[in-house]
């Protein structure tokens, strides 16, 4: 059951991909996940030189495949798109937009391209453009999200495309992986669970906020500005939602979010910073190494499958 079209496609042991989280997913985290048998992903958000140095560092830490996530709303996307070709990265995942204008170049460079999509129509478009697989992300996920839930979206995309489907959003343990396989996915992407990994660089305050979160502790900000983002509730979200409710200017609302993720991730300011996390945060109770996380996930997956 561990071996799926995704483990074959990506040449990895287990069908578990670590989400590429902006300002969070660096070489150390990605290499630890890949070494543990999953697919580690480095975030492509940041200066082109910093991203290049993270890619090179990951190569020095593991001989196993890893990927780079390209956030398409970023400023230097053209440069990062070129960089992954120069560095011969094995896999590119994309988020927050359409990667169509880069696909041909990536394919020419033998990069496996896996866009993250929030709907059936976009999944079909990505398949037509030559995507090797697709990550279908439900709105349970942390960060920038679409409107549909994983449970309803995954089977609809599975029926609409031929390429392998990877489920994301709301998956935090082996039962979630088993459920995803039942829906027709052949792998999962998980972000929130890896936030609390020992190898994850986020500030201890951020990790503790995830560990202490209950099921009802996330909010979606940015609906009014068409940039919905799921985060853990704090002083910033209360202010954000108050401004949104009072129909404040988009520029005033967006100014509040500027630099907020970095504030939480690096400075550990979990009151005024943006603590992105998915709805599954309430399930996550302890800090573990990536190896421990992946071993536990696979044990739970096998147990869940035996049980049914």
Q: Which residues bind ligand TUI (CB under 6 A)?
A: 22, 71, 95-98, 116-118, 122, 125, 137, 143-146, 227, 229, 261, 276
Minimum distance from residue 113 beta carbon to ligand TUI (Å): 13
Minimum distance from residue 122 beta carbon to ligand TUI (Å): 5
Minimum distance from residue 75 beta carbon to ligand TUI (Å): 12
Nearer to ligand TUI, 118 or 174 (CB): 118
Residue number of the CB closest to ligand TUI reads: 143
51 to 38, 43, 58, 271: CA distances (angstroms) = 21, 8, 11, 28
Nearer to ligand TUI, 116 or 178 (CB): 116
Nearer to ligand TUI, 6 or 71 (CB): 71
Nearer to ligand TUI, 28 or 144 (CB): 144
Minimum distance from residue 304 beta carbon to ligand TUI (Å): 26
Minimum distance from residue 184 beta carbon to ligand TUI (Å): 20
Nearer to ligand TUI, 46 or 95 (CB): 95
Nearer to ligand TUI, 88 or 101 (CB): 101
Q: Which residues contact 182 (CB under 8 A, 6 or more apart)?
A: none
Place of tokens 């404040």: 248
| The two structure tokens encoding residue 21 | 């989280």
Minimum distance from residue 291 beta carbon to ligand TUI (Å): 26
């Amino acid at each position: 059951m561990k071996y799926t079209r995704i483990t074959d496609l990506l040449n990895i042991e287990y069908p578990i991909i670590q989400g590429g989280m902006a300002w969070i997913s660096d070489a150390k985290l990605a290499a630890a996940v890949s070494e543990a048998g999953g697919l580690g992903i480095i975030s492509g958000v940041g200066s082109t030189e910093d991203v290049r140095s993270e890619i090179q560092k990951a190569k020095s830490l593991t001989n196993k495949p890893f990927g780079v996530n390209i956030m398409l709303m970023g400023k230097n996307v053209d440069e990062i798109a070129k960089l992954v070709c120069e560095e011969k990265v094995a896999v590119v995942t994309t988020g927050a937009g359409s990667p169509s204008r880069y696909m041909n170049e990536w394919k020419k460079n033998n990069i496996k391209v896996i866009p993250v999509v929030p709907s059936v129509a976009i999944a079909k478009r990505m398949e037509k453009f030559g995507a090797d697989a697709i990550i279908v992300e439900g709105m349970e996920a942390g960060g920038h999200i679409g409107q549909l839930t994983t449970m309803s979206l995954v089977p609809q995309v599975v029926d609409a495309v031929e390429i392998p489907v990877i489920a994301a959003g709301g998956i935090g343990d082996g039962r979630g992986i088993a459920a995803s396989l039942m829906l027709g996915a052949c792998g999962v992407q998980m972000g929130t669970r890896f936030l609390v990994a020992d190898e994850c660089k986020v500030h201890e305050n951020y990790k503790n906020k995830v560990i202490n979160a209950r099921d009802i502790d996330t909010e979606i900000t940015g609906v009014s500005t068409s940039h919905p983002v799921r985060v853990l509730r704090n002083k910033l979200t209360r202010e954000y939602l108050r401004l949104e409710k009072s129909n404040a200017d988009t520029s005033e609302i967006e100014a509040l979010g500027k630099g907020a993720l970095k504030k939480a991730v690096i400075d550990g300011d979990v009151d005024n910073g943006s603590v992105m996390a998915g709805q599954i945060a309430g399930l996550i109770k302890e800090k573990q190494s990536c190896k421990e996380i992946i071993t536990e996930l696979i044990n739970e997956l096998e147990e869940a499958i035996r049980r049914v």
